[in-house]
Amino acid sequence: MKIFYGWIVVAAGFVITCIGLGTAMSLGVFLLPITTAMGWSRTDVSFAVVLTFLSMGVGSFFWGAISDRFGTRVVLLCGGVLLGAGLMGASQVTQVWQFQLLWGVLGGLAAGSFFAPLTAIASRWFTKHRSLAVALITSGMGLGSMVIAPTARAIIAVSDWRTAMFDLGLLALAVVLPTSLLVRNAPVEPVLTSSGRAADDRGFTVAQALRTPQFAAVAGTFFACCTAHSGPIFHMISYAIDCGVPAMTAATVLGTAGVASLVGRIVFGLTADRLGAKPTLVGGLLLQATSILVYDFVRTPAAFYAVAMVFGLSYGGVMPLYAILVREYFGARIMGSMFGAVAMVSTIGMAIGPWAGGYIFDHLGSYGWLYIGASAIGLGAAAIAFVFRAPDPAIRLQAA
């Protein structure tokens, strides 16, 4: 039986996001080894993550637009080279600004080439199982947390942080580049309406779509969602160690959250195919906000594992739903550009959380207010998601 090539694209995207985005999210493993060896503060090292996500946001919009015009494969190849160079270069630095530039800016631009373009191409290949396909693409990030964090921790234990980071750069080059060659654009010609437009073309140009309240609502929800979960994810290992959990166990707690996020993407994707993306998103955001708050009360390894599973399920589950909403609201033709724009706004939130966690710890000596504040912001994300509506058909016709 012939395999639908869209599933091969999904499998390739899964592997690329696993390595590409898994490494971008792994700096938490290096936080204590770097600060101990180099004498840098947690705030200074955490600022590299700020730059990572800001650069990832700019890159998402840029690479998304490029993929709309020239295809996704060339974007992925460029990103693989940038990621390998950034990681290997960061492993050799002697000054904190050098680390922030190489890990943060170069690595962030690379990560932006994976997330939005791969999500957009998955949505173009599928109609019936679109939510599931997008969920599987993004679930690579969850598996990446499970694989990359313990692997880096193990290398650090027998060598040092420099060796571990250099090895991750080599891994990125060895995996991302050849796997990118499997990614193809969807070959099916769109069904045209009587006006000559594609049947799922909503009639918006990118400029018009960016001015709609629906763009502001989806981007605002994504921003608040990422602000809420990024700090707890990044500081999860350090917080667990501060609570007396052994370092290797703390790394596997992050891996547990990563596995749960993988499961969450699939479960929430299937749920969204049946119930719709919006109600599934609201429920996931409420679960995320609750689990973040519970982190402030856990102290034992068993409790950390339990909360990590719920937290990972929720933050992983909601991530692919934003792409589905963008596709439903604005159509396939400008999907790469629009989801890149939404992702760009969300990465500002991803940048704020890790830096805020480091600042709170350095000035207050604990992470307590990180979890309280993040939970409140997560509830705000759920409130925005609950009230926004799809574009009115009359507005679409006017835009056309």
What gap in Å lies between CA 55 and CA 148, rounded to an integer?
21
Position 351 in a domain: yes
Range of the domain at 389: 5-184+202-399
Output the domain CATH number for residue 135. 1.20.1250.20
The string of DSSP codes covering 243-270 is TT--HHHHHHHHHHHHHHHHHHHHHHHH
Q: What are 136's two structure tokens?
A: 């599987």
| Among candidate residues 27, 151, 42, 11, the one with its CA nearest the CA of residue 91 | 27
| Among candidate residues 265, 231, 238, the one with its CA nearest the CA of residue 373 | 231
What are the per-10-residue average pLDDT scores of the chain (400 residues)? 83 90 81 88 82 84 82 90 93 92 91 84 79 79 76 88 93 93 73 43 75 89 94 90 88 83 85 87 96 93 94 90 84 78 85 85 89 95 87 48
What gap in Å lies between CA 158 and CA 160, rounded to an integer?
7
| Among candidate residues 371, 367, 321, the one with its CA nearest the CA of residue 346 | 321
Is 212 strand, coil or helix? coil
pLDDT in tens, 239-280: 999 999 988 888 788 878 878 887 888 888 888 888 888 999
**What does the pLDDT read at residue 384?**
93
- Please tell me the total count of domains within the chain: 1
**What does the pLDDT read at residue 192?**
38
Position 230 in a domain: yes
Position 249 in a domain: yes
Position 197 in a domain: no
Position 193 in a domain: no
Position 189 in a domain: no
Signed CA dihedral, 347, 311, 100, 171: sign only: negative
Position 233 in a domain: yes
Position 194 in a domain: no
